[in-house]
Structure 1
Amino acid sequence: MQPSSDDLLTMAQYSQNAILVHEKDSLRILWANDQACRIFQYSVPELRSLKAHHMSSQDERYRREDGVAWLHSAALYGSSRRQWKYLAADGTEFLTDSTATLVPFQAGEALMVEIRVIEEDEQRPDSPEWVSTSLERIMSHTASGVLVLDTDNRVERASPYAAGLFGYAASEIIGEELGNLGTTDLGVSEEQLRETIVQPERQINFRLKVDGENRTFRWLSCNLENVRIEGTTYRVLTVRDIQDRVEAEQREKAQREQLQYLSRYNAMGDMAMVLAHDLGQPLAASLNFLSGLKTRLNTPTPNFTQLNYGIEMVEKQLRRASEIVASAKRYVRRIESTAAEFSLPATIAESLYFVRLRAEEEGVVVNADLGTEELMMEGESVLIGQVIINLCMNAIDEIKRPDTLVKELDIKLTEFGGLASLSITDQGRGMDAVPAEQLAAGAFSSKKDGSGIGLIISEHIAQRHGGTILFTPNKPRGTIATLSLPLKSVQNAQAENTGPVM
């Protein structure tokens, strides 16, 4: 018996897995089987009208960029699998093992996502770092104290815990003015704090820096609002100790600054290596030609044809040296640049200039397809250039190995779902022995005594720009590194909507 198309549809309805069919380019949902409707608690028409962030967990590990990169990987390579946490209509979150597959239909290609819900007994515990971070967040929001203020922002009543946060006993803090208890931040003035008594529903959030003994201080998170009880309005100030959170923010800021320093330091190092190494060849060749010219000029009957040829070769080598210096100057001029709008294809092309210098030296052919679209994004182009150079140099290190038969580096830029994706493909040894999600975290380095620090910096730069780096096997041999970055239109949408918008 040959099953009909209706029979195949019936088989999909009987599947124990939920099935969603997405349009390849827009990612909107085209169809869902009954099991998908059950676990998401939506009908098919309702699912079609939803955006993906309505169906995904609010957990920061399931960002829009990661979801689009996952589906894009399936669109490029045929299939992609990962764990994803979804959100049902009633707010219930559930973890799944999901596989996206590119399916050719008569009307065009679509992405079929097969979803298997992972039961609690199957779930692996979170990493110690994630658990520690989550516990710190919970603890920072648990303990809180309450002060009741009068219309002049003087303390009328106080809980013992709240008074203790300011270094007082509950009875000693009565009558103290809020402005004397600490220094507000975020530009909040005394007048703004008093405004909340005029509008009963108003509330204001701010931070207080409270001085302690021996020049120490503590940061408090404050929420001032009006609470109306039996006809009386009370000005209630809720305070929480957020010293740990502020210190973490300061550490993160210091890490960001260190990242910028390391990235720019590496860029300067790259340029120094270019000038030291790549200038050596044309300068040495020029010196050889000049030495030959000098010898021929000292002959009784100089051959002017040979002299002209030598002069032309000197000019050619000096022009090459000049091009290298000019490119290095343009690159270094952008090293101290701040975030700005830039053309991603142009940045890639500039980075590939230095990649090709290294590739030519190692006998590697670089095949680049950057398309014709002007893909604009916002950020620091020099840092993105560093990521591209680093990924390409890693690939060249694999290609130049004696056991790598195909000495070619393939680079392709595509646009998909508001993301620009640059795939860097080699046919080296591959990385099947290491989980893909651990590569950029520094778990793998193909170089002897390598630390993987270049990949760590590259991943941080990509994340700062709202992007991802994904490593996948290149069948039958090699590795594909895919850098995905949101375009300017998507970045603007993210700025307007702080929630996940996968």
Structure 2
Amino acid sequence: MFPTRRDFQAMAERTQTGILIHEAASKNILWANPAACRMFGFTLEELRPLKAHHMSSQERQYRRALGVAWLQSAVVHGSSRRQWKYRTKDGVDFLTDANASLVQFQDGPVVMVEFRNISEEVEIQQELSWVSQSLQRIMTHTSAGILVLDDGNCIDDISPLAARLFGSTTERLMGAHLEDLGRCDPSLDSEQVVSKLASSTGSVKIRQKIERPDGRVTWLAGELEDVVHDGMVSRVLVIRDVTDRVELEQRHEYQVANLQYLSRYNAMGDMAMILAHELGQPLAASSNYLRGLQRRVAGGTLDRDQLSYGLDMAEKQLSRAAEIVASVKRYVRRIESTSSAIDLNDVMEESLYFVRLRAAERGARVVVDRTVESLPVQGESVLIGQVIINLCFNAIDEIVLPTTETKELRVTTCRDGDWACIRVADEGRGMERAPRNQLVSGAFSAKQDGSGLGLIVSEHIVERHGGDIEFSPNEPQGTEVRLRLPIAGGTRLVGV
């Protein structure tokens, strides 16, 4: 049995490939199968009068002259194949793989064009090509190295940059076990890594130490995770060179440890200065009270009340000396926390007891302007109080000079943002005698027998409490000293 002409026509009408029959000489459309009509959205009657430019894309490479030349090439050479972009009745372009062939009909030669819509295929191919090229660019040019590992953590694939980070080539590293190249932290076989990857919901941060043959060490840090795609699981590690960061961390750790050592060593010096400088006042005061009692006993003028008062005051001064010694011990030990929550206003009031005694002895007046709000700070009340006393005593020494007309010490407390502040002001000689930046940091003293140790000790104490001391000119003359400590709970708080 042989197929008849009608059978061939039936096959042409049933195929999903579009078929257009053009007259060889005029290139006019003579016939189109149903598949072609569906693709164009035209009926056969609508297609027949159309020319190439009516049913082709308006893009320059599909203009009418090129379409005619393509069909003529089939007339001359028997066949001609190319991609051609047609246009539907609705104006939508679609790309086709089209083959034009010369066919001899009974009534004369025709050109048969067989075509199929490949727009989706091209889009998929372009997308796959883009993805492939993008991945290749990422693997080649990204600042991070990329490794693909198998289930045994051996290298299946590695980017050129990753190979350079390991100091080798991609060819040499293929198949190598990752931990054979350098110790990983945590280990890839650890329960932490295995359980995290098994959950398929998270990644694991890895740090790897690579020791080069020349003795250099490179630190790599990366993120390891199992990526699921198309039903497959790939173990991917993205790594970067963090050598500079690790070396910086190591230097920082060394500096912190060294600073702790130097801090303790310096604290011993602070303790010696504090004991030498600060114990003198309470010990001298208690000695004065006891000598006064001795004189009254020798003169026969001592009564019971005077004896009780003198002994109480001597005991008070000795208790203060004991507090200073205990506080200095805690200051040096630097145990977990030797500080407590205190109100700077209360510390000032306690300190002013001794300041008023000194001022009264030397003919000076103390004026206090205390803020009504609390000034909560964290620290050692005895040490902070000793700083306040030292600053006030220095001011009194200026006030009592014959050249100072206003015999007044002004002490003010206030809050300045996240800082608790105390200002101590006098109208003495002012700051012309020494550069401002040497008042604390250098061993400066205006006293003939002064060593300047009081200001240095005060600076150390305040710095360890996270604060600072600043000197500035007072108006109309003299010096104003501002002591600042961070408010407890503020961002600037530094533990003692």
* Structure 1 unaligned spans of 5+: 1-143, 164-169, 212-217, 294-305, 496-502
Specify the alignment match of 2:297 in structure 1. Answer: 290
- The correspondence for 1:312, drawn from 295, 300, 305, is 305
Secondary structure of 1:319 counterpart: helix
What is the deviation of 1:313?
A: 2.6
- With over 3 angstroms needed to count, the CA separation of the structure-2 counterparts of 1:236 and 1:373, relative to structure 1, is same
The equivalences for 1:417-496 within 5 A come to: 417-432=417-432, 436=436, 439-442=439-442, 444-447=444-447, 452=452, 454-491=454-491
SS at match of 1:248: helix
Shift of 1:465: 3.4
Q: Is 2:329 the partner of 1:326?
A: no
Query: 1:236 matched to which residue of 2?
Result: 239
Deviation at 1:223, TM superposition (A): 4.4
Counterpart AA for 2:237? Y
Percent of pairs with identical residues: 32
* Residue 469 (structure 1) shift: 2.1
Partners of 2:204 and 2:424 in 1: how far apart?
A: 51
2 CA distance for matches of 1:393 and 1:248? 38
Distance of aligned partners of 1:246 and 1:418 in 2 relative to their CA distance in 1, 3 Å threshold: closer
- Indicate if the aligned counterparts of 1:440 and 1:459 stay in contact, CA closer than 8 A: yes
The residue number in structure 1 matching 2:414 is 414
* CA offsets 1:59-114 (integer angstroms, 9 cap, x no match): xxxxxxxxxxxxxxxxxxxxxxxxxxxxxxxxxxxxxxxxxxxxxxxxxxxxxxxx
Q: Which amino acid aligns with 2:255?
A: A
**2:303 partner SS:** helix
SS at match of 1:324: helix
**Cα offset for 1:463?**
4.1
Alignment TM-score, normalising by the size of structure 2: 0.51
Q: Tell me: CA distance 1:236–1:269, structure 2 relative to 1, closer, same or farther (3 Å).
A: same
Cα 1:290–1:435 change in 2 (3 A) is closer
CA distance in 1, matches of 2:361, 2:447: 18
Give unpaired runs (5+ residues) of structure 2. Answer: 1-142, 168-172, 331-336
Whole-Å separation in 2 of the counterparts to 1:150 and 1:432: 73
Q: Deviations over 1:431-483 (max 9, x none)?
A: 14655455433385434586755444534543443433222101222110111
- Contact 1:153–1:177 at 8 Å: present in 2 too? no
Separation in 2, partners of 1:181, 1:447: 64
Summarize the Cα distance change of 1:209–1:261 in structure 2 as closer, same or farther, 3 Å threshold: farther
Pick which of 388-397 and 197-206 moved more.
197-206
Amino acid at match of 2:252: R
Report the CA distance between 1:334 and its aligned residue. Answer: 4.2
Larger displacement relative to structure 2 (482-491 or 453-462) = 453-462
Q: How many corresponding residue pairs?
A: 322
Alignment check: 8 A CA contact 2:205 2:224 kept: no
- Cα deviation for residue 389 of structure 1 reads 3.0
Specify the structure having the higher radius of gyration (Cα): 2
Higher relative contact order, structure no. (Cα contacts within 8 Å, ≥ 6 residues apart): 1
After superposition, what is the alpha-carbon deviation per residue over 1:37-57, rounded to whole angstroms, capped at 9, x for unaligned? xxxxxxxxxxxxxxxxxxxxx
1:284 Cα offset (Å) = 0.6
Secondary structure of residue in 2 paired with 1:279: helix
Normalized against structure 1, the TM-score is what?
0.50
What pairs up with 1:299-448 in 2 under 5 angstroms? 310-335=303-328, 336=330, 338-432=338-432, 436=436, 439-442=439-442, 444-447=444-447
User: 2:205, 2:223 within 8 Å by CA — same for their partners in 1?
Assistant: yes
The one-letter code sitting in structure 2 at the alignment partner of 1:406 is T
In structure 2, relative to structure 1, the CA distance for the partners of 1:285 and 1:431 (3 Å cut) is same
Q: Distance in 2 between matches of 1:350 and 1:443?
A: 28
Equivalent position SS for 2:490: helix
Letter in 2 for 1:310: D
Question: 2:352 is paired with a residue of what secondary structure?
Answer: helix
Amino acid at match of 1:388: I
8 Å contact from structure 2 (residues 182, 209) kept in 1: no
Partners of 2:220 and 2:450 in 1: CA distance: 47
CA displacement at 1:310 relative to structure 2: 3.5
For residues 250-281 of structure 1, give each alpha carbon's deviation from its aligned partner in whole angstroms, at most 9, with x where no partner exists. 23323433454444444444553134311111
Q: State the SS of the aligned residue for 1:414.
A: strand
